[in-house]
């Protein structure tokens, strides 16, 4: 992908966060799933770190080699024309220099956005100190700017997801982190594990940038989230797990009864799948 095309995609992706219409981002884990998602009408695609890791034989949590993660992003970006945002977890990096290198390589792979967590993936679940988290967002922003591609940085804080601190302190803690990341150069602010309507109503006006939420049990439906001012909704690993569940159930049926009827009704045909991949446009 040439840089002019990539810059145009990045700007188009940024415009999707203007809160005039919620951006629903289905998460792909390989080229085939990306093409299916694009063909279904998605305006943009995000990768899922867990789904990508599972697809190449590793658990989630920066266990897969960085090179494999970047190669998967490149395959996804190659086969679709819509913008692709890459879930790079915490950057597969322990310092700002390594993080900047990851960002540059992900841009070279064709991504026009990233998710960047403030979670430390070594040992017990914990978050980087706020000052360190800010430096990491700033390093990602500087790396993107120096590349000439104005990627959309979706800065994620896992205060709610990891249940950091007492429950009544999480709102202020998460908002403080998110707003600091916004000042450091983030375009969108991701707070997974927020599902209650009352929490959404409280968080949206407290943030200094667009809010990204994650699909989870109990979260309001998309139209209501849009009315509440949520800018972006990620599906995360749910599509990957759904595909795994279908495969498991089909194989169990085949091995126990000798049939695979569950895969036949409404199934994509070989010809349709082959045409879908042959008709990739980038």
DSSP for 61-127? TT-S-HHHHHHHHHHHHHH-SS-EEEE-TT-S-SSHHHHHHHHHHHHHTT-SEEEEE-EE-SSS-EE
pLDDT digits (tens, 9 = 90+) for 119-147: 999 878 899 999 999 999 999 999 999 99
Residue linked to tokens 């949590």: 61
Identify the CA nearest to 110 among candidates 86, 129, 130, 142.
Answer: 86
Q: Could you tell me which of 200, 197, 161, 159 has the C-alpha nearest to residue 181?
A: 159
pTM beyond 0.85: the answer is yes
Q: pLDDT band for position 112 (50/70/90)? A: very high
pLDDT digit string (tens) for 92-105?
A: 998 999 999 999 99
Q: Which of 150, 141, 146 is nearest to 13 (CA)?
A: 150
Query: Residue 266: pLDDT band by 50, 70, 90 thresholds?
Result: confident
Give the pLDDT of residue 281: 55
**In the predicted model, is pLDDT for residue 282 greater than 60?**
no
Backbone angles phi, psi at 152, to 5 degrees: -90, 115
pLDDT tens by residue, 213-240: 999 999 999 999 999 999 999 999 999 9
CB distance 154 to 193 below 8 Å? no
Backbone angles phi, psi at 158, to 5 degrees: -100, 30
Q: Across all residues in the chain, what is the average pLDDT?
A: 95
How high is the pLDDT of residue 107?
Answer: 98
What is the C-alpha separation between 37 and 45, in angstroms, rounded? 7
Give residue 279's pLDDT: 80
Query: What does the DSSP 8-state code read for residue 267?
Result: P
The confidence score (pLDDT) of residue 123 equals: 79
pLDDT computed for residue 122 by the predictor: 85
């Amino acid at each position: 992908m040439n840089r002019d095309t990539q810059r145009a995609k990045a700007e188009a992706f940024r415009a999707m966060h203007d809160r005039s219409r919620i951006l629903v981002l289905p998460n792909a884990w390989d080229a085939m799933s990306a093409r299916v998602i694009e063909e279904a009408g998605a305006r943009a695609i995000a990768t899922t770190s867990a789904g990508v890791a599972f697809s190449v034989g590793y658990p989630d949590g920066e266990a897969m080699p960085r090179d494999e993660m970047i190669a998967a992003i490149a395959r996804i970006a190659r086969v679709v024309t819509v913008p692709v945002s890459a879930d790079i977890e915490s950057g597969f990096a322990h310092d700002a220099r390594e993080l900047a290198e990851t960002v540059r390589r992900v841009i070279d792979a064709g991504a026009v956005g990233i998710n960047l967590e403030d979670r430390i993936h070594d040992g017990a679940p914990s978050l980087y100190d706020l000052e360190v988290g800010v430096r990491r967002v700033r390093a990602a922003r500087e790396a993107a700017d120096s590349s000439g591609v104005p990627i959309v940085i979706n800065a994620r804080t896992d205060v709610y997801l990891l249940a950091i601190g007492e429950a009544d302190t999480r709102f202020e803690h998460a908002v403080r982190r998110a707003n600091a990341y916004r000042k450091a150069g983030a375009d969108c602010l991701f707070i997974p594990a927020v599902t209650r309507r009352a929490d959404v109503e409280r968080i949206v006006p407290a943030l200094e940038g667009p809010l990204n939420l994650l699909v989870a049990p109990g979260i309001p439906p998309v139209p209501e989230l849009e009315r509440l001012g949520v800018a972006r909704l990620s599906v995360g690993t749910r599509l990957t797990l759904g595909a795994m569940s279908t495969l498991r159930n089909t194989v169990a049926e085949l091995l126990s009864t000798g049939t695979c009827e569950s895969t036949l009704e409404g199934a994509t045909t070989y010809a349709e799948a082959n045409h879908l991949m042959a008709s990739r446009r980038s």
